[in-house]
Amino acid sequence: MSESMLDVIGKSLGGSPAFETSDNMNMKVVMLAAVVSVLISCVKSETKISVIGAEVTEAGIYSAQVVKEFSTPGVVGGTNQGLDAFTLVQATTNIPARVGTRFGFRYTIHGTHSNVPIVLTMVAEHPPLKDPKSGKTQSRDEYELHSWIGRTYTSYSFDEEWELIPGKWRFEVWHKGQKLCEQCFLVVPDTMQKSSNEIGAVNGSQPSRTATNRTSSTPSSRR
């Protein structure tokens, strides 16, 4: 028991005489039990996890360093990534359908206490995407993510040609049945790629493309 708890108990019970009657002893035992009960309740209330909402703070096209990959059956493509060095390149909600493009958003989860671990449910709705490896067509991703209260982020990376389907994408962040926040994007045809193809056709060559690692929806990662 800490000194502060002993001080509270001492102040509640008063001094300790050399001899006590049984009635006085019983009274002090009852008072001691009551004080300890109050202190335990205070400790529990201080450590109680409470999530009250979330706020999107920025959205757009990002660069990032992939630090790990792991299997996630709930997402199209079946894989997920852990990221570092997550950096905003362009603030926008119009995303070009271009291999190598990563888009997403930063958000802050509000609650008590900061950095306390929580489990989120991540949901993404998008145009139907067919994975040629599995033959599965999917327009909704859903998976659990171990995160925390405070600032974090999530993103999606186009790494295969079959993912480049224009249309609306909506990302949602849930906690225990409560939607905390959402962010929408519009994936549009890649005009830069069209221009590159036209130049290549005029020059009699095909435009080059930098290879990227296969990925799907990326989980939140601590900055």
- Give per-residue pLDDT as tens, 57-66: 999 999 999 9
Domain ranges of the chain: 3-47, 51-218
Residue 1 pLDDT > 50: no
Residue 95 pLDDT > 90: yes
In CATH terms, is domain 51-218 a member of 2.60.40.2390?
yes
Strand order in the sheet with 167-175: 94-96, 178-188, 167-175, 117-130, 137-148
- pLDDT value at position 165? 96
Average pLDDT, the chain: 75
Residue 89 pLDDT > 60: yes
How many other CB atoms sit within 10 Å of the CB of residue 24? 11
Mean pLDDT, to the nearest integer, of 135-157?
94
Residue 47 pLDDT > 80: no
* C-alpha to C-alpha distance for 73 and 156, rounded to whole angstroms: 15
What percent of the chain clears pLDDT 70, i.e. is strictly above it? 65
